Amino acid sequence: MTTHYDLFVIGGGSGGVAAARSSANLGAKVGIAEGDKFGGTCVNRGCMPKKFYMYASHCTDEFESARSYGWEFEQPKFNWKILKDNTFNEIKRLNGIYDNMLKNANVDVHNGFAKFIDEKTIEIEGKKITADKFLIAVGGKPFKPAIDGQEHAITSDEAFHLEKLPQKMIIVGGGYIAIEFAGIFNALGVDTTLMVRRNLILNGFDNDIRQHVREEMEKKGIKIAPTTNPVIIEKQNDGSLNLHCNHDKEWGADQVMFATGRVPLLDRLGLENTNVKIDDRGQIDVDEWQQTSVNNIYAVGDVTNRNYNLTPVAINEGRAFADTHFGKETRNFSDFIVPTAVFCQPQIGTVGLTEEQAREKYNNIDIYKTSFAPTKYRLSDIDEKILMKLIVDKDSDKVVGAHMVGPDAGEIIQALGVAIRAGATKYEFDRTVGVHPTIAEEFVTMREPSA
């Protein structure tokens, strides 16, 4: 017997769950399939465990800062196993919350991998299911370069589950995942080197931010090797790894981690049995309404070739899909603005255009920029500088970009995202009184352009 749904969602990550719940709450008959744990990359192998590990790594500076405020205590000792166990107990709790949310919304949950038999039928564990609409939300997986010995390296998926902390680690990559893990492992006492294909980290971010973060990471002891790529990884008799890199250089480490991007998780979907178009990067091609080249098959999140690979983006795409197909509102993701945080050390918060993008788009721009030491560290020996930057279209006076490196940058940039989405001008920033003494007040006290 074949079961039929108004909507069937393939993938139980943030985007898929949001679409399934929202559609069911709007009256649709909805099923969802997940072959792993609900919550997707974010809950199980990404945002959440990484944030807990980041909190743990921040304690290094917190202990140091505490001494300057009069606290006396013995040298702290870190226990990797306690962090792992506590983190994944919390992840299990979150998995249960996702299960309950779906059941409470009357979504039929199917535990197993779904595969397309044709464009109107999928199969899960031998059971056939049809639907008026299918939504693919299977997310992505880490990418490993095809080099000899790549099997000896781990990815971000395995980094959370190491049996013990390595003494010496090489992280290959220059994106946000690479620099976040570099900050975590370095602060936990690991001798950490970041191998970067380009001259600078964080391609696509504002160049001032890229340079500033690099300098701050190096001050904290992270070694950065620009224009360096591993060519071969060899495992030695003692278990250590030897990397042969370009420029005929060799590097040794106890652990190598690839953070060289992510690719859509299409392995088991059976898309070859459909006419769903895949682009040359292996991503599902969708339009602004998340529709694929097949009119009853849609996709959201990291598996697509649209927007950003961010959890809140996938959630909003899923909810917009539900409203459009089962609600009374037709909408898509095209008019959203996306603030972004990178939880490196120090943190990055960014929203809107980079300086480089603004110079291409506008004839006249003003740049407002400031850098200073945070008050919190003035009593300690911690050497860290904040960078804050506003980009203004001079002709309209609108603030078109805001960027920050420093403590709580992610928290601060969220509010600025609302202001920029609303079209706030520099005049309105200047007429807002700062909360003193805070870091955030600097965004409303920068008066003179720096460029």
pLDDT at 307: 67
| Active-site pick, 110, 152, 161, 436 | 436
Residues 16 and 114 placed together within one structural domain of the fold: yes
Mean pLDDT of the chain: 96
Identify any residues that bridge with 258 across adjacent strands, giving them in sequence order: 172
244 inside domain: yes
Instruction: Please indicate, yes or no, whether residues 370 and 240 belong to a single structural domain of this protein.
Output: no
pLDDT given for residue 2 in this prediction: 82
Residues 294 and 156 in one domain: no
Closest CA to 50 of 245, 257, 220, 202: 257
User: Has residue 409 been placed in a domain?
Assistant: yes
> Do 272 and 250 belong together in one domain?
no
Residue 287's domain comprises 3-141+263-326
One domain for residues 237 and 281: no
Q: How many residues does the chain have?
A: 451
The model's pLDDT over 257-276, given as tens digits with 9 standing for 90+, comes to: 999 999 999 999 999 999 99
pLDDT of res. 247: 85
Non-local (6+) Cβ contacts of 76 within 8 A are 59, 63
Q: How is residue 286 written in tokens?
A: 């969708």
- Residue 451, pLDDT score: 65
Q: Are residues 123 and 173 in the same domain?
A: no
Q: Single out the residue in 225, 260, 295 at which a domain terminates.
A: 260
pLDDT of 248: 85
Residues 99 and 178 in one domain: no
Is 334 domain-assigned?
A: no
Residue 80, in any domain of the structure? yes
CATH number of the domain where residue 372 is located: 3.30.390.30
Compute the distance between CA of residue 202 and CA of residue 174 in angstroms, rounded to an integer.
6
CB 146 within 8 A of CB 231: no
Note whether residue 411 is domain-resident: yes
Residue at 43 is within a domain: yes
Are 128 and 12 part of one and the same domain?
Answer: yes
Question: Domain check: are 239 and 284 in the same one?
Answer: no
Same-domain status, 137 and 51: yes
Long-range CB pairs of 416-424 (<8 Å, 24+ gap) are 416/339, 416/349, 416/351, 416/443, 417/337, 417/338, 417/339, 417/351, 420/337, 420/351, 420/352, 421/337, 423/398, 424/398, 424/399
Q: Do 286 and 299 contact (CB within 8 A), yes or no?
A: yes
How many separate helices (H) and strands (E) can be counted in the chain? Answer: 11, 21
193-250 pLDDT, tens digit per residue, is 999 999 999 999 999 999 999 999 999 999 999 999 999 999 999 999 999 999 888 9
Number of domains in the chain: 3
Determine, yes or no, domain membership for 293: yes
403 is catalytic: no
Enter the pTM of the model. 0.95
CATH number for 166: 3.50.50.60
Domain end (from 232, 260, 288): 260
Residue 237 and residue 216 in one domain: yes
Among residues 260, 287, 318, the one where a domain terminates is: 260
- Output the tens digit of pLDDT for each of the chain's 451 residues: 689 999 999 999 999 999 999 999 999 999 999 999 999 999 999 999 999 999 999 999 999 999 999 999 998 999 999 999 999 999 999 999 999 999 999 999 999 999 999 999 999 999 999 999 999 999 999 999 999 999 999 999 999 999 999 999 999 999 999 999 999 999 999 999 999 999 999 999 999 999 999 999 999 999 999 999 999 999 999 999 999 999 888 999 999 999 999 999 999 999 999 999 999 999 999 999 999 999 999 999 999 998 688 999 999 999 999 999 999 999 999 889 999 999 999 999 999 999 999 999 999 999 999 999 999 999 998 999 999 999 999 999 999 999 999 999 999 999 999 999 999 999 999 999 999 999 999 999 999 999 6
Nearest Cα to 95, choosing from 162, 156, 143, 38? 38
Residue 177 in domain: yes
**Same domain, yes or no: 10 and 135:** yes
